[in-house]
Amino acid sequence: MILLRRLLGDVLRRQRQRQGRTLREVSSSARVSLGYLSEVERGQKEASSELLSAICDALDVRMSELMREVSDELSLAELAESAAATDPVPVPVRPMLNSVSVSSVAGVPSGRVTIKAPAEAVDVVAA
């Protein structure tokens, strides 16, 4: 599942890091607690429009630019998610064996039969 708050946080962090600024600097300039800004960047908190506006002002980035970058990230994430959902997952092919019924074997006590075969090729069902 794609979480918009994570994409938004990733874009905000990249914007801040491109400018070589610390969380402390941006949080102070935006008048937001450092811890809260950190949670927004990590996608753990949903940012209000007022908070986004303050962060964008602190980063000197237009909100439309921020949202455009988030939109691009969302498009890529959706494409990746849909590609993963449509790619068939290979299912291992197991050879079909004819069923064998054993009622008794001469010289073997009842209920004790050993079948030697590759483990992935045999399903044993007790009757």
**Does residue 97 have a pLDDT over 80?**
no
Mean pLDDT of 72-88: 84
Per domain, the residue ranges of the chain are: 2-83
For residue 111, what pLDDT band results from cuts at 50, 70 and 90? low
Looking at the whole model, is its pTM more than 0.75? Answer: no
Fold of the domain built from segment(s) 2-83: 434 Repressor (Amino-terminal Domain) (1.10.260)
In degrees, rounded to 5, the angle at the alpha carbon of residue 67 between the alpha carbons of residues 17 and 48 is 90
pLDDT at 85: 79
12, 13, 22, 42, 55 from 18: Cα distances, Å: 10, 9, 10, 17, 15
How many CA atoms within 13 Å lie on the side-chain side of 70? 21
For residue 82, what pLDDT band results from cuts at 50, 70 and 90? confident
Distance CA 92, CA 101 (A): 26
